[in-house]
Structure 1
């Protein structure tokens, strides 16, 4: 499970870095084209918006996999033992449910509903923008299942070391 986790981490980090670098390049080109060449780029804003959505969704999936997402830990920091483990399992389960229902199911509905619409400046289907939702949802579910295994393995190691 750790090899899957590490491979997904590398792929997501590389993809996010490439998207961010391309966004910096496109934004720089937009400024140069507008203020130096006096011919504003027509597709740069649309490309930046498209890239930002994909970057955000992939970064959310990565952060969820690292268990570094924003959470209110006022209660969970005070828990120990079985209560802490139960809370960890519950959080992963809730992430799976949210990802399955909202990101995958809802994202697939949005993708299929908008696939016939064309993104005007980029001349691509609008559904490709919404495809970031089910893609990130699937990645989050894989990460959460992996986190389930890691939590369980840690419990097992802790019990065997105590014996």
Structure 2
């Protein structure tokens, strides 16, 4: 399971870096075209918006996999033993439920409803923009299941080693 986690990490890092670099290039082209060439690019703003949505959703999935997401640790840092395990496990389960219901189910609904609409500047279906929701939701679920497995293994092996 850790090899799957590491493989997804590498792919997400590569894709996020590629998206970010392309966004910098497109934004630079937009500035050059507008102010130097006096001929603003019509496609660049739409491409930047599309790329930003995908970059954000994939980055959210990556950060969730690293367990570096935003959370309030005022209470959980003071917990130990079974309470800490229960808290961490519950957080992962809440992420799974959120990803399944909102990102995957809701994202698939939004994707299927907007596939017939065309993104005017890019001439692609708008559903491709919303496809980032179920993709990131699926990645979040895989990461969270892996995190649950790691939490369980750590609890089980720590319990067996202590007298």
CA distance in 2, matches of 1:152, 1:13: 27
Q: CA offsets per residue over residues 56-95 of structure 1, 9 Å max, x none?
A: 0000000000000000111111110000000111000000
> Partner residue of 2:150?
150
CA distance in 2, matches of 1:71, 1:108: 27
The equivalences for 1:57-68 within 5 A come to 57-68=57-68
> For the aligned residues, what is the CA RMSD?
0.6
Aligned-pair CA distance for 1:160:
2.3
The equivalences for 1:4-83 within 5 A come to 4-83=4-83
> Partner residue of 1:131?
131
Aligned-pair CA distance for 1:5:
0.6
The equivalences for 1:72-151 within 5 A come to 72-151=72-151
CA distance in 2, matches of 1:16, 1:23: 10
Q: Which runs of 5+ in 1 are unaligned?
A: none
CA distance in 2, matches of 1:109, 1:22: 29
> Partner residue of 1:161?
161
Q: CA offsets per residue over residues 97-133 of structure 1, 9 Å max, x none?
A: 0000000000000000000000000000000000000
* Residues matched between the structures, number: 163
Q: Which runs of 5+ in 2 are unaligned?
A: none
CA distance in 2, matches of 1:159, 1:78: 20
Partner SS, residue 102 of structure 2:
helix
Q: Which moved more, 1:125-134 or 1:153-162?
A: 153-162
CA distance in 1, matches of 2:69, 2:111: 26
CA distance in 1, matches of 2:11, 2:160: 34
Aligned-pair CA distance for 1:156:
1.7
